[in-house]
Amino acid sequence: MNKQHNIVDLARELGRAISEMRTFMRQNLQVKIREQNVDITFELLEILGILFRKDGVNQQEIADVIVKDKSSMTYLIDNLEKRGMVERREDQNDRRSKLIYLTEKGRALEKELNPWIREMYEKATMGMEMNDLQVALSQIQKMNENLRKQ
């Protein structure tokens, strides 16, 4: 797009592009949700997306992947549990943690919902090179490391 003359402005623009990307991803999935008339929210779909790949993980592990805080996690898992899509089970190895498992009902959604997520990412990366994306990722990760250090 437009050239930035210094690194701070470039970082600003990157921050902007980044927020925009999340909005677009949300809108993209929202279209499917509306079209297919499925009773689910973007946030719950994010969690299900993780669990489809591998369930039996605790809330914090999910939170780390989709970048939510603990309390949002409690709220969202409560919601999924009320809908009968997941269940909390005790962790034999650590009594603090609760392992989240898909129920049958939750698992039954996989076939319909999982392609939405994949298609969204495929659409996003259309015509892009893995190497370029890898560079972008490593840049963002480097910025994150910089920001992490207090």
Partner DNA sequence: AATAATTAGTTTGAATTCAAACTAATTATT
Chain positions contacting DNA, by CB under 7 A: 23, 26-27, 30, 34, 41-44, 58-61, 63, 68-77, 79, 88, 94-98
Are 55 and 102 in contact, with CB atoms under 8 Å apart? Answer: yes
Terminal alpha carbon distance of the chain: 32
35 binds its own copies (CB under 8 A): no
Which does residue 44 touch among DNA, its own copies, none (CB within 5 to 8 A, set by kind)? DNA
Three-state secondary structure of 44-110: HHHHHHHHHHCCCEEHHHHHHHHCCCHHHHHHHHHHHHHCCCEEEEECCCCCCCEEEEECHHHHHCH
Which does residue 25 touch among its own copies, DNA, none (CB within 5 to 8 A, set by kind)? its own copies
38 binds its own copies (CB under 8 A): no
18 binds its own copies (CB under 8 A): yes
Measure the CA–CA gap between 4 and 13, rounded to whole angstroms. Answer: 8
Cβ closest to DNA, residue 70 vs residue 105: 70
Cβ closest to DNA, residue 6 vs residue 23: 23
Which does residue 12 touch among DNA, its own copies, none (CB within 5 to 8 A, set by kind)? its own copies
Measure the CA–CA gap between 117 and 28, rounded to whole angstroms. Answer: 9
In the chain, the amino acid numbered 132 is: D
* Footprint of its own copies (CB under 8 A): 1, 4, 7-8, 10-25, 27-28, 31, 65-67, 118, 120-128, 130, 132-144, 146-148, 150
